[in-house]
Amino acid sequence: MALVEDSTTLSTYLNDFGVSCTSGNTTAKAILEQPDLVLAGNQIVTTDYQLTAKVSDFGNLLAGAKITIDNSVYFVREVRKLDDGNFCEIAIQKR
């Protein structure tokens, strides 16, 4: 049986693991990841915030755009499409 990708199947993953995100007039679920990075020869630990979302929801955000994720404000650094282009990874930062 072939798996058909449509808005329902794409949203299922985000509905299970996502948090509420809003930018402009768009509110949708996306997955927030907060991995720590160790830099400068183990001297600095920083958090590399990333958001995985549907391209149709947040794929057109530009650098500097404001996005509210689970009631916290972040700003877009860059947006990259993943795999077949239905999902994107958004590098974000707190100010």
Confidence of residue 72 (pLDDT cuts 50, 70, 90): very high
pLDDT of residue 38: 86
The answer to whether residue 11 scores a pLDDT higher than 90 is no
pTM assigned to the model? 0.84
Cβ-Cβ contacts under 8 Å for 5 (sequence gap 6 or more): 84, 86
